Structure 1
Amino acid sequence: MNYSNASFVKRYEGNPILTGKDFPDEYHILHCFNSGIIKYKDKYLMLNRLEDCSLKAYFWIAESDDGYDFTPRPAPIAMPEDNPLFQKYASINYYDPRITQIGDTYYIMHACHSEYDCRLSLLSTVDFEQFKWHGFVSDPGNRNGILFPEKVNGLYARFDRPMTSWDGGNIWMSFSPDLVHWGQSECVLKNSAVRWAWSKVGGGCTPIKTEHGWLNLFHGVRTQCKSHYVYQSGVCLHDLEDPTKVIAVSEKPIITPMANYELHGQTPSVCFITGAIVEPDGEVKVYYGGADTVMCAGTIQLQTLVDLCHNRL
Structure 2
Amino acid sequence: MVKARRAVVQRYHGNPILTPDEMPILASGVYNAGATKFGNQYLLMLRVETIEIKNVFWVATSDDGYRFTLWDEPVPMPDTAEFQEYTSGMYYDPRITPLEGHYYITFAAHSDHGARVALMRTDDFKRYEWLGFISEPDNRNAVLFPEKIDGCYVRLDRPLQQGDRGDIWISYSPDLIHWGNSRCVARTEGGWGWKKIGPGAPPIKTDQGWLEIFHAVHVMAGYQYVYHLGVMLLDLSDPSRVIARTSAPILSPREPYERVGLTPNVVFTCGAILEEDREVKIYYGGADTVLCVATARLEDLI
**Common fold by TM > 0.5:** yes
Aligned to 2:10: 10
2:264 is the alignment partner of 1:268: yes
Counterparts of 2:223 and 2:146, CA distance in 1: 36
1:126 is aligned, of 99, 123, 126, to 123
Q: How does 1:243-254 map to 2 (within 5 A)?
A: 243-254=239-250
Aligned to 2:228: 232
Amino acid at match of 2:199: G
2:300 is aligned, of 301, 304, 308, to 304
Aligned to 2:194: 198
For residue 154 of structure 2, give the secondary structure of its aligned residue in structure 1: strand
For residue 13 of structure 2, give the secondary structure of its aligned residue in structure 1: coil
Q: CA RMSD in A?
A: 1.4
Q: How does 1:149-298 map to 2 (within 5 A)?
A: 149-165=146-162, 168-192=165-189, 195-298=191-294
2:99 is aligned, of 97, 102, 112, to 102
1:42 is aligned, of 18, 40, 43, to 40
Q: Does the aligned pair in 1 maintain the 2:191–2:218 contact within 8 Å?
A: no
Aligned to 2:85: 88
How many Å apart are 1:6 and its aligned residue? 9.1
Percent of paired sites with the same residue: 49
Q: Does the aligned pair in 2 maintain the 1:7–1:253 contact within 8 Å?
A: no
Counterparts of 1:143 and 1:119, CA distance in 2: 6
**TM-score, scaled to structure 1:** 0.93
Counterparts of 2:19 and 2:60, CA distance in 1: 11
Aligned to 1:55: 53
For residue 191 of structure 1, give the secondary structure of its aligned residue in structure 2: coil
Amino acid at match of 1:120: V
Q: Does the aligned pair in 2 maintain the 1:7–1:256 contact within 8 Å?
A: no
For residue 91 of structure 1, give the secondary structure of its aligned residue in structure 2: coil
How many Å apart are 1:19 and its aligned residue? 1.1
Counterparts of 2:235 and 2:129, CA distance in 1: 32
Which runs of at least 4 in structure 1 moved beyond 4 Å after TM superposition? Answer: 4-7
How many Å apart are 1:273 and its aligned residue? 1.6
**TM-score, scaled to structure 2:** 0.96
Amino acid at match of 1:149: P
Q: Does the aligned pair in 2 maintain the 1:92–1:115 contact within 8 Å?
A: no
Counterparts of 1:55 and 1:7, CA distance in 2: 36
1:216-258 CA deviation, whole Å, 9 max, x = no partner?
1000000010000110000011111100000111111110110
Q: Does the aligned pair in 2 maintain the 1:175–1:185 contact within 8 Å?
A: yes
1:26-68 CA deviation, whole Å, 9 max, x = no partner?
x211110111010011100100000110111111100100000
Q: Does the aligned pair in 2 maintain the 1:197–1:222 contact within 8 Å?
A: yes
How many Å apart are 1:185 and its aligned residue? 0.5
For residue 221 of structure 1, give the secondary structure of its aligned residue in structure 2: strand
How many Å apart are 1:166 and its aligned residue? 7.7
2:138 is the alignment partner of 1:141: yes
Amino acid at match of 1:241: S
Q: Does the aligned pair in 2 maintain the 1:207–1:217 contact within 8 Å?
A: yes
Counterparts of 1:103 and 1:262, CA distance in 2: 36
How many Å apart are 1:84 and its aligned residue? 1.4
- Give structure 2 stretches of 5+ with no counterpart: none
Q: Does the aligned pair in 2 maintain the 1:285–1:300 contact within 8 Å?
A: yes
How many Å apart are 1:165 and its aligned residue? 2.5
Q: Does the aligned pair in 1 maintain the 2:164–2:196 contact within 8 Å?
A: no
Amino acid at match of 1:140: P
Counterparts of 1:8 and 1:303, CA distance in 2: 10
Counterparts of 2:90 and 2:8, CA distance in 1: 33
Amino acid at match of 1:123: M
Counterparts of 1:96 and 1:203, CA distance in 2: 11
Q: Does the aligned pair in 2 maintain the 1:267–1:291 contact within 8 Å?
A: yes
Q: Does the aligned pair in 2 maintain the 1:6–1:256 contact within 8 Å?
A: no
Counterparts of 1:267 and 1:99, CA distance in 2: 24
Change (3 A) 1:5 1:268: farther
For residue 34 of structure 1, give the secondary structure of its aligned residue in structure 2: strand
Q: Does the aligned pair in 1 maintain the 2:213–2:231 contact within 8 Å?
A: yes
